Chain A
């Protein structure tokens, strides 16, 4: 029966999350290819690492928060014996699954083509994408539920990604901002605090997940700011 619920939820999501994840992976790989072909200084490894460390985790975050943002049967969910937060968790996992698979595929391809940038080796280095993925998905869900607006969550993660990419020195130069810095592998100047950064990201993800669960116990969280 439980497998049926997962399968039904999977079908309800339609092809769109998979399509968005595929487009994200395609964009990252295409940019790396263009950089290889036209640029004199080869940045393809850095572009691929940035893709799995910053770009695709933010796509995963946006997709994971989508079930918390839009559900026309939300009030009906409250009357069901299954807690609403459990339904949301199941949907978020299924939605974020596709970009996570994309990141895993790109990381395997990078290892096999000797383009792996992480100084923590191949196994420990997988935190390059796992830690930002956990941080981004949980943080997006938290912002969506806390501000009652999916648009706000999408904006916060997109802007954070943009700022970290364009002016990462703000985060790199101030030690108290290290736990928020997602591209610590892509940015070679940030390798000195790589392990603490990854553990901070995972720790923040656990706290954000617990806070989201806590907020979802309050029925008034179901009223959406976006409806205005």
Chain B
């Protein structure tokens, strides 16, 4: 048990350090996540002033959530192929511990390191809103918004991109990742995107149920009848949505060692 714990912890720590020292990661994540809010600053400020504190926070976090998971997923997607590129697979196979703990540690380490610049930008935006709206409650709401909107989406992208990277050609992952995320954002009345379902990783139920905002697609009658996956908007469904997305991401991450093991039998 101690060996398993050390294997997980060492992989996580090493990957966290490696990822957090990549200049390209910081440049691109900070650049991408700050550039578009700055370009839309005037329009966003007007919207925030009309919406009030709670809905402004949901709007801001949802605004980031529109495109940031694409960048996040692409940055993560080269970590597992890198082991293959550096011919490390056979060496890892000689280790006494099971490879699944190393892979989960690697996934968590790289995810934690990549999420840091995004959290900084999300909190900086909240500070800006707090100053504009003269509200001290903003930071508290932003922490909740990060936990129920941003983090489940990023965890979902972590699982999808790492899983894809075990069997898809690396340059294709970027386009699959972008295509999938954009498809999940499309209006459910235009295409059957399931953006209005409880399982949607775009956080539509949390936005509507917990923040009373209409920025998501929750509660919209789409092209596909959703049944139990399209309940009425409420605080309960607002909490259940992110929980289900987190469970889905955990299940996908659970399949990661099996998918990676096809190339790397231990």
Contact = CB atoms under 8 A, between A and B. Distances in A.
A24 B171 CA distance: 13
Interface in B51-99: 63, 66-67, 70-71, 74-75, 77-78, 82
Contacts of B174: 62, 154-155, 158
Interface in A173-218: 173-174, 177
Contacts of B190: 35, 39, 41, 43
A62 B171 contact: yes
B171 A20 contact: yes
Given A154-B174, A158-B71, A169-B43, A225 B24 contact: yes
A43 to B, nearest CB: 6
Given A39-B223, A225-B23, A20 B172 contact: yes
B106 to A, nearest CB: 15
Contacts of A166: 66-67, 182, 185
A31 interface: yes
Contacts of A161: 178, 182
A228 B21 contact: yes
A75 interface: no
A35 B191 contact: yes
Given A158-B175, A158-B178, A162-B66, A152 B27 contact: yes
Question: Which of A27, A38, A158, A173 is most buried by chain B, counting CB atoms within 10 A of its CB?
Answer: A158
Interface stretch (B32-40, B122-130, B148-156, B227-235): B32-40
A155 B71 contact: yes
A39 B43 contact: no
B189 A39 contact: yes
Contacts of B28: 147, 149, 151-152, 155-156
A170 B178 contact: no
A34 interface: yes
A59 interface: yes
A122 interface: no
Contacts of A165: 182
Nearest to A23: B172
B30 to A, nearest CB: 12
Interface in A119-173: 147-152, 154-156, 158-159, 161-163, 165-167, 169-170, 173
A66 interface: yes
A156 B192 contact: no
B181 interface: yes
Given A34-B191, A39-B223, A167-B40, A148 B182 contact: no
A138 B27 CA distance: 20
Contact of B179 (A27, A41, A159): A27
Q: Say what secondary structure dominates the interface of chain B.
A: helix
A63 interface: yes
B18 interface: yes
Contacts of B22: 225, 228
Interface string B5-18: 00000000000001
Contacts of B77: 151
Interface residues of A, number: 43
A169 B44 CA distance: 12
Contacts of B23: 225
Interface in B178-210: 178-179, 181-182, 185, 189-192
Contacts of B32: 155-156, 159
Nearest to B173: A154
A43 B191 CA distance: 9
Contacts of A169: 43
Nearest to B72: A155
Contacts of B66: 162-163, 166-167
A63 B182 CA distance: 20
Nearest to A176: B39
Given A35-B191, A158-B175, A170 B24 contact: no
B191 A228 contact: no
Nearest to A224: B24
Given A151-B78, A167-B40, A158 B24 contact: no
A38 B190 CA distance: 8
Given A170-B40, A177-B39, A39 B175 contact: no
Interface of A: 16, 20, 23-24, 27, 31, 34-35, 38-39, 41, 43, 55, 58-59, 62-63, 66, 147-152, 154-156, 158-159, 161-163, 165-167, 169-170, 173-174, 177, 225-226, 228
14 contacts: A20-B171, A55-B179, A58-B175, A149-B28, A150-B171, A154-B174, A155-B28, A162-B70, A165-B182, A166-B66, A170-B36, A225-B24, A226-B24, A228-B18
